[in-house]
Amino acid sequence: MSAITMRELTKVYPNGVRALDALDLEIADGEFFALLGPSGCGKTTLLRTIAGLEVASGGNVHIGGRNVTNLPPGKRDVAMVFQDYALFPHMTVQDNIAYPLRIKKMDRRSRGEKAAETADELGLTALLQRRPGQLSGGQQQRVALARAMACHPQVFLLDEPLSNLDARLRLEARTFLKRLQRELGVTTVFVTHDQAEALALADRIAVMEGGRIRQVGTPTEVFRRPANTFVAGFIGSTPMNLVDAEVHDGELAVAGTRLPVPDEARDRVSAGEKLVYGVRPEYLDYSPEPAPGALSGQVVVVENLGSFSLVSLDMPSGDAPATPGTSLQVVVPEGREPEPGDTGWVVPRPGRSLLYRDGELVSTAAPPAVPAARTGADAER
Amino acid sequence: MSTATRTPPAPATDPAGEGPTIAVRHLLAQIGRYVFLCAVLGFFALPLLWLTTAPFDDTPTVTASLPQFTLDNFRALLDNPYALSSLRNSVYLAAGTAALVVTFAALAAYALSRVRVPGRDALLYGLLLLSSIVTGTATMVPLFELAFRLNLIDSRLGVILILSGGLLPAAIFILKDFMDSTPTSYEESARVFGASPLQIMRHIVVPLVRPGLATVGVWAVANVWGNFLVPFLLLRSPDKAPAAVIMYTLYTEGGQADLRLLSTFSLLYSLPVALMFVFVSSRYGFRFHGGIKR
């Protein structure tokens, strides 16, 4: 049982920067949890506050039901893997892995055995007598993970675990990390600024901005239904199209076209209201011919992204309050790319459009705090 | 001033006659440079040459010459009651001071590097400036007075403390740079595993800054070894005097410098420090700046 609960957690640095702003968050036992956000959003501060390397200015942190807010890092039963791995350069791999056990006063022999055992699980046996400087980036990362695993902590904290690896190795390490976390079943919190990494690895993601959490949800929830325009713009390899819209006669006037109001928002909008219409480029179908309920525009840029292309269209300003030059991006499968200068039509897929009022999603359901399955599992224990 | 930025007009391609002149001028410049270098080299090499030949010479003079080989000078030196014990005294003073300086400079540099104190840099520069005064001639009178009040006259401890005080600021300054370039993530990592500050210091920081510690240690030893004024004033009994002070006493009854003894003693006096340099340099390598070889 090692859930992490934070209540009203606040961190104000001596220079007055409010890195964490009365933050509430629950991370379930065994969960692989991502803290995602742009640089300076407080995600690393949050991780370091859980680790105890930063002292909270207010609020509290519980790990496994124990209030650890005022405990030093060594007493919290957590292990942290740093962005640069922080392997001690003057120690061999074996001594590095055994270091937490040395601190726990385990005798030299048993800690050597334990280190060798942990190294074996991660395929590091051949490297035990090397020094960190003689290892590749991927090997260094695995040594850092082995060192964290050796002391069997309740919680793993990973600071940007993949950012020090080159692109190809990163994919490999991502799969490795996800499998390792599944096998160990230890609650793991990691920090990343890369939304693709968060979507791929995490069971749940907290998207942060300016010391606050803007949305917590599974990768699917965060991708399909961003709770606000910040998350909509941040998640996804191509940001969501956000276009000004106005409600007219139960329909939406968007860039010269009338579109139906999304079902969930139908009872929550009033005539004449100005909103933002959001749809992902992946959820738009391109057509070279006019189609019913389509937005039309002129193709300006075609970016080839391998198996698909990202097409940008300029929308005309019609009776809708779209500013001239409003543009849409749409994903077009290979072989069907238009040429720049063509006129094209795009049809939003049903059920994939969202409406935002003052930056917040207009929807019927309240945003889910902790997923039902996880909380159910916790309740049983 | 605008002409300075403009490229100067290319020299006109010289007619056939001018080529050799340039070559000759180049050759002369080359010769001149080497003659100058030889003169400088000779200036520094001659005293060293004297140091290696004079001790073995029957009748050394102030010039370096091929010696009439003899070891009598060493025998004569051994008869001097203070010569050998003074070298031992020098070792005591140097080792004691180096140990104090390295230990306290490491602790202070670590703290100064990790804790944000307002005015920290000003403090460091101030200490550095003042330290040259502490062991300098200017403060010898108050220092003597202080040592007298504390009953530290004619005590090796007194000399060690005063020399350490003088060397510490510069040592802290050098070591702080080493500490600064040690990533804090090493220490934070150890902290998360539960290591105490002293454990972190012992297991992580000291091994990482070892080249710095070695540099400061050797530098402290060399400084104490060559210091004359402080032990000369504070130590009264000749059996406690270090080599640098005893060398001052190697004169004949007539007040003439006894070149036979003086040259022999100089050789013995310089050997330990030279050997230590070679040893430490091969073992740890000298560096006056931080940074970690990974």
Give tens-digit pLDDT for B180-216: 888 888 999 999 999 998 899 889 999 888 888 988 9
What confidence category does residue A44 fall into, taking pLDDT thresholds of 50, 70 and 90?
A: very high
Placement of tokens 């200017």 in the chain? B138
| Position B7 in a domain | no
Q: Which of residues A371 and A310 earns the better pLDDT score?
A: A310
pLDDT band at A324 (very low <50, low <70, confident <90, very high): low
Local structure of B11: helix, strand or coil: coil
| CA atoms of A312 and A3, how far apart (whole Å) | 45
State yes or no: pLDDT of B98 exceeds 90: yes
CATH number at residue A183: 3.40.50.300
B237 and B157 in one domain? yes
Q: What domain range includes position B45? A: 19-70
Q: Out of A43-57, A65-79, A241-255, which region has the weakest mean confidence (pLDDT)?
A: A241-255
**Residue B206 one-letter amino acid:** V
**Shortest alpha-carbon distance between residue B202 and chain A (Å):** 12
pLDDT of B257 strictly over 80? no
pLDDT surpassing 60 at residue A320? no
Q: How confident is the model at residue B106 (pLDDT cuts 50, 70, 90)?
A: very high
Residues on chain B touching A132 (C-beta within 8 angstroms)? 294
Does residue B292 fall inside a structural domain?
Answer: no
Q: Which of A201, A226, A251 is the last residue before a domain boundary? A: A226
Q: How many domains does chain B have?
A: 2
Question: Given an 8 Å threshold on Cβ–Cβ distance, is B185 in contact with A151?
Answer: no
B14 located within any domain: no
Nearest to A99 among B193, B208, B292 (CB): B193
Query: How do residues A185-208 score in pLDDT, each as one tens digit?
Result: 999 999 999 999 999 999 999 999
The total number of residues shown for chain B amounts to 294
Q: What is the pLDDT of residue A244?
A: 87
- A52/B293 touch (CB, cutoff 8 Å), yes or no: no
Cα–Cα nearest to A122, from A82, A169, A180? A180
Residue B239 has pLDDT above 90, yes or no: no
pLDDT of residue A322 exceeding 70, the answer is no
Structural domain includes residue A368: no
How is residue A372 written in tokens? 């039902």
Whether residues A37 and A96 share a domain: the answer is: yes
Tell me: do A22 and A122 sit in the same domain.
Answer: yes
Facing A75 at nearest CB: one of B194, B204, B294: B194
Domain shared by B61 and B184, yes or no: no
E strand or H helix at A10, and its extent?
strand A4-12
Query: Could you tell me which chain B residue has the CA closest to the CA of A158?
Result: B189
Q: Are B244 and B94 in contact (CB under 8 A)?
A: no
CB B201 within 8 A of CB B111: no
Position A156 pLDDT exceeds 60: yes
Q: Do A170 and A282 have their domain in common?
A: no
**Looking at residues B106-131, what average pLDDT do you find?**
84
Is residue B289 situated within a structural domain?
Answer: no
- For chain A, the 3-state helix, strand and coil shares in percent, each to the nearest 5, are 30, 30, 40
Look up the domain containing A272 and give its range: 234-361
* A52–chain B Cβ distance below 8 A for any pair: yes
For chain B, give the mean pLDDT: 82
Confidence (pLDDT) at B288: 54
Those residues with Cβ within 8 angstroms of residue A72's Cβ, 6 or more apart along the chain or in another chain: A52, B191
User: Using 50, 70 and 90 to split pLDDT, how confident is the model at A379?
Assistant: very low
Q: Using alpha carbons, select from A309, A308, A306, A227 the residue that is nearest to residue A264.
A: A227
Do B50 and B115 fall into the same domain? no
Of A226, A255, A273, which closes a domain?
Answer: A226
Position A367 in a domain? no
Q: Is the pLDDT of residue A367 over 60?
A: no
Distance CA B172, CA B179 (A): 10
Do B63 and B123 share a domain, yes or no? no
- Binning pLDDT at 50, 70 and 90, where does residue A368 land? very low
Cβ atoms of A189 and A112 within 8 Å: the answer is no
Structural domain includes residue B121? yes
Q: Are residues A218 and A238 in the same domain?
A: no
Which tokens in the block code for residue A64?
């496994």
pLDDT at A274: 87
Are A240 and A341 members of one domain?
yes
Q: How confident is the model at residue B5 (pLDDT cuts 50, 70, 90)?
A: very low
Do residues A143 and A205 both lie within one domain?
Answer: yes
The domain boundary, picked from B70, B89, B111, lies at: B70
Residues B91 and B39 both lie in one domain: no
CATH of the domain at B192: 1.10.3720.10
Q: Cβ B186–A86 below 8 Å, yes or no?
A: yes
Q: What is the pLDDT of residue A67?
A: 93
Looking at the structure, tell me whether residues B58 and B86 fall in a common domain.
no
Q: Helix (H, G, I), strand (E, B), or coil: what is residue B136?
A: coil
Chain B interface with A: residues with Cβ < 8 Å:
183, 185-186, 188-195, 199, 203-204, 207-208, 292-294
DSSP label at residue A301: E
Cα angle value B35/B38/B40 (rounded, 5°): 110
In this structure, are A24 and A130 located in the same domain? yes
Higher pLDDT, B126 or A311: A311
A267 and A324 part of one domain: yes
CB A198 within 8 A of CB A25: no
Query: Region A53-62: what's the mean pLDDT?
Result: 92
Q: Is residue B8 part of a domain?
A: no
Q: How many domains does chain A have?
A: 2
For chain A, give the number of residues.
Answer: 381
Sign of CA dihedral A254, A260, A265, A270: positive
The rounded distance, in Å, linking the Cα atoms of A93 and A131 is 6
Alpha helices in chain B, H assignment, sequence order: 2-5, 18-53, 72-79, 83-114, 120-134, 140-149, 156-180, 184-192, 197-200, 206-208, 210-226, 229-234, 243-246, 259-283
Contact B186 A53 (CB under 8 A): no
Q: Are residues A58 and A174 in the same domain?
A: yes
Of the two residues A222 and A375, the one the predictor is more confident about is A222
Q: Is the ipTM of this complex over 0.85?
A: no
Give the strand order in the sheet containing A308-314: A284-287, A343-348, A295-304, A308-314, A327-333
pLDDT at A122: 87
Whether B4 has a pLDDT exceeding 70, the answer reads: no
Q: For residue A340, what is the domain's CATH number?
A: 2.40.50.140
Residue B254, phi then psi, degrees to nearest 5:
-75, 0
**Any domain includes A62:** yes
Q: What percent of chain A has pLDDT over 90?
A: 47
Kindly state whether residues A262 and A162 are assigned to the same domain: no
Give the residue-averaged pLDDT of A253-273: 82
pLDDT surpassing 60 at residue A178: yes
Q: Which band of pLDDT confidence, cut at 50, 70 and 90, is reported for residue B7?
A: very low
Query: Which residue of chain A is at minimal alpha-carbon distance from B187?
Result: A86
Identify the pLDDT of residue B30.
93
The answer on A281 and A205 residing in a single domain is no
Q: Which of B183, B185, B193 sits opposite A74 (nearest CB)?
A: B193
Widest pairwise Cα distance in chain B? 85
Residue A362 has pLDDT above 90, yes or no: no
Question: What pLDDT score does A45 carry?
Answer: 93
What's the average model confidence in pLDDT over A118-139? 89
| Same domain (yes/no): B244, B128 | yes
What pLDDT does residue A192 have? Answer: 93
Looking at every residue in chain A, the average pLDDT score rounds to 86
CB within 8 Å: B192 and A74: yes
Among residues A171, A204, A226, the one where a domain terminates is A226
* Domain presence at residue A370: no
Q: Which two tokens stand for residue B192?
A: 């998360």
CB neighbour list of residue A380: distance below 8 Å, 6 or more residues apart: none
Within a 10 A sphere around the Cβ of A378, how many other Cβ atoms?
Answer: 15
What was the pLDDT predicted at B253? 64
Is there a domain that residue A311 lies in? yes
Instruction: Tell me how many helices (H) and strands (E) chain A has.
Output: 9, 21
Statement to judge: residues A60 and A202 lie in one domain: yes
